A = this chain, B = another copy of it.
Amino acid sequence: MTVNLIKLALPSGSKYDIRIGSGVNSKLGDVIAGITDYRSLALIADSTVSKLYSEKVSQILEESGFAVAQFAFPAGESSKSLAQMEELFGALAEYRFARDSVIVALGGGVTGDLAGFVASTYMRGVPFVQVPTTLLSMIDSSVGGKNGVNVAGIKNLVGNFKQPIYVSADTDVLNTLPELEWKCGFAEMAKSAVIDSREFAAWMFEAAPKLVEHDTDTLVEAITKTVEFKARVVVADERESSRRKCLNYGHTLGHAIEAVSQNPKVLHGIAVAEGMRFAAFLANDIIGTEPGFVEAQDELLSSLGIQRLGRKFDVDQIMERMLHDKKSNGRTISFVLPKAPGDWVVQELDPSVVREHVEKWMLG
């Protein structure tokens, strides 16, 4: 079985390891004990993950000499709120957690975002360990340090940056992951591959059949490649400015679809995959793409089990969301437009141009 170790060193001075592989959570206590003198841990998980893994992870941590308190919050995006933070702060204070405590986030993106924000602000900051339990959070929220909660109906309106001291990505916990969540992770991998390089895109194309079968070694390799790609981008540009914008590929329409969709809501990764298809369609029309690029990306996503969404959304609502996304200036809409694998530009587009393409896209 492959276990990979990525050593991240950020320009700000933060350094941490990301360990990826089957069974790596069994080393969690020893690793944390090796990087901090603190011996008091708050293990934060949502109600679903808590039932499955909190007890097991607590035991591992306690065996390494940690005092562990478990905190569970209701599963779901609605827990990314200031009210939920207030509850966690109160619970931490009640347990007399002080600055010499470590917060361990055990879960997916919601848990990482919420617990990361808590860790970055409780007593003005305590150390933070990420134990992602979804494929998407292993590759997406473990690198970059972003956290946040939703306020006034706006996703991640409030948050900041907090680097973990360690990330443990154990592929064993993915056994309990629903099929749709696998696809969300694959979409993020595909996005990274297309943005990164011809080599990574070609590798993903080859690996897709094994990934959809959940082959562990291929999975560890794909997670590693995706994390390394994201790490390269983040190291080059720790605070989101120019280069890091490439990570938003597929996110302009993706975020809008996520926000506008109801019953069922479209999950983040699936929405981003749709956004990638749309961005490629847009790029092809506006700046031109390499022959076969649009089709190859379509095929890559389809071979990962992610088909075109085929759902219709209200174009006014979609436009409103894109125009008033927090990355938008309210006058133009920013898109990452691909020309070929590893070759892309960020372009500010006039809303009327975008609208015309969204309308065409919704037709079919």
- Residues of chain A touching chain B, judged by Cβ–Cβ distance below 8 Å, are 82-83, 85-86, 89-90, 93-94, 96, 98-100, 120-125, 146, 148, 151-152, 154, 156-161, 324, 326-330
Contact = CB atoms under 8 A, between A and B. Distances in A.
20 contacts: A82-B82, A82-B83, A82-B85, A86-B151, A93-B157, A96-B330, A98-B326, A98-B329, A98-B330, A99-B327, A120-B160, A121-B158, A121-B160, A122-B158, A123-B326, A124-B159, A124-B160, A124-B161, A125-B160, A160-B160
Most chain B CB inside 10 Å of its own CB: which residue of A82, A100, A156? A82
Q: Can you tell how many copies of this chain the complex includes?
A: 2
B160 A93 contact: no
A221 B161 CA distance: 38
A99 B328 CA distance: 9
A93 B151 contact: yes
Contacts of A85: 82, 158
A159 B125 CA distance: 8
Most buried by B among A96, A100, A123, A330: A123
Contacts of A94: 152
A205 B228 CA distance: 60
A307 B148 CA distance: 46
A324 B151 CA distance: 32
Given A86-B151, A152-B89, A324 B160 contact: no
A145 to B, nearest CB: 10
Contacts of A125: 160-161
A152 B162 CA distance: 23
Contacts of A120: 160
Most chain B CB within 10 A, of A125, A324, A326, A329, is at A326
Given A98-B328, A160-B160, A152 B93 contact: yes
**Residue picked from A85, A151, A161, A328, most chain B C-beta under 10 Å:** A151
Contacts of A328: 98
A89 B324 contact: no
A320 to B, nearest CB: 12
A85 B83 CA distance: 11
For the complex of A and B, the 9 pairs showing the least CB-CB separation, nearest first, are A90-B152, A93-B152, A89-B151, A123-B326, A121-B158, A82-B82, A82-B86, A124-B159, A124-B160
B146 A124 contact: yes
A98 B327 CA distance: 8
B324 A96 contact: yes
A316 B180 CA distance: 56
A86 B151 CA distance: 7
A121 B159 contact: yes
A124 to B, nearest CB: 5
Contacts of A329: 98, 100
A124 B148 contact: yes
A203 B101 CA distance: 42
A31 B91 CA distance: 44
Given A94-B152, A100-B329, A124-B148, 20 more contacts: A85-B158, A89-B151, A89-B152, A89-B158, A90-B152, A93-B151, A93-B152, A93-B154, A96-B324, A96-B330, A98-B326, A98-B328, A98-B329, A121-B158, A121-B159, A121-B160, A123-B157, A124-B161, A125-B160, A125-B161
